[in-house]
Amino acid sequence: MEITLQKSIGFKINKVANNLNSLFNQILLPFDIAIEQRVTLEIISQEKEATLTKISNTLSKDKTTISRTLRTLEKKELIKKVLSNDDKRVSFIILTKKGEETLKASQNITHKFRESLVSKLDEKEMDTFFKLLNKVDEGVRNYE
């Protein structure tokens, strides 16, 4: 069986992700943050000792990309870096008051958006969907 571009799993996942990101970025415009920034703030708020490496691993993105996002968030005064007391080579990333307020202010619209996506699927479909995505992800990670 020949797999055309339109039948390619990677193409379809990327197309859906682009549509999702574009829409969510529009929704987040009033908060002056993009989806990548919002997700990063959320990770920082949930992580006890957030570092560049932890955020990079959580998002499966390279450190250069995450560094760029963190610089932008720092310029917007939404985060700040604090040197570790134990190891001066390590910086922890924490939310500023403004970062906490931005995360909280965008929480309801984020929840509503996420709910609207899953509302199209029942619990069994959601379970199947995530199992399939995990299989694709495993295939990507184990590609030779």
Provide the angle, in degrees to the nearest 10, between the axes of the packed helices 35-46 and 52-59: 120
Q: What is the pLDDT of residues 105-135, one digit of tens each?
A: 999 999 999 999 999 999 999 999 999 999 9
Calculate the CA 90 to chain-centre distance.
Answer: 22
The pLDDT of residue 5: 86
Residue 91 belongs to what H/E stretch? strand 91-95
Longest dimension (CA), the chain: 58
Whole-angstrom distance, CA of residue 54 vs CA of residue 136: 23
Q: Can you give the pTM of this predicted structure?
A: 0.88
How many CB atoms sit inside 10 A of residue 120's CB?
8
* Residue ranges in the chain whose pLDDT is less than 50: none
